[in-house]
């Protein structure tokens, strides 16, 4: 198991899925499927898509802990 590579991919996967799902919001600063004057800042704010990467990172890390039988061992 190469957990480093798995975690890198998991982090990227979260960001990729966010960007693919919000592509119409990320094309411009103003104007989106919500309307021509709709601001998109909440969608392209790096804190938002970075958080999605963190969530998939955490999920993969929990899977690794389970695979290694290392949950609640302390």
Q: Domain boundaries in the chain?
A: 3-67
Which residues neighbour 36 within 8 Å (Cβ) at sequence distance 6 or greater? 30
CB 43 within 8 A of CB 26: yes
pLDDT at 1 over 80: no
Which residues neighbour 7 within 8 Å (Cβ) at sequence distance 6 or greater? 57, 60, 61, 64
Task: Return the higher-pLDDT residue of 19 and 71.
Answer: 19
pLDDT tens-digit map of 3-61: 999 999 999 999 999 999 999 999 999 999 999 999 999 999 999 999 999 999 999 99
pLDDT band at 64 (very low <50, low <70, confident <90, very high): very high
For residues 53-70, give the mean pLDDT.
95
């Amino acid at each position: 198991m190469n957990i480093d590579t798995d975690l890198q991919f998991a982090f990227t996967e979260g960001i990729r899925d966010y960007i693919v799902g919000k592509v119409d919001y990320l094309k411009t600063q103003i104007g989106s499927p919500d309307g021509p004057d709709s601001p998109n800042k909440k969608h392209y704010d790096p804190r938002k898509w970075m958080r999605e990467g963190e969530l998939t990172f955490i999920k993969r890390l929990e899977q690794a802990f389970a695979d290694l039988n290392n949950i609640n061992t302390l």
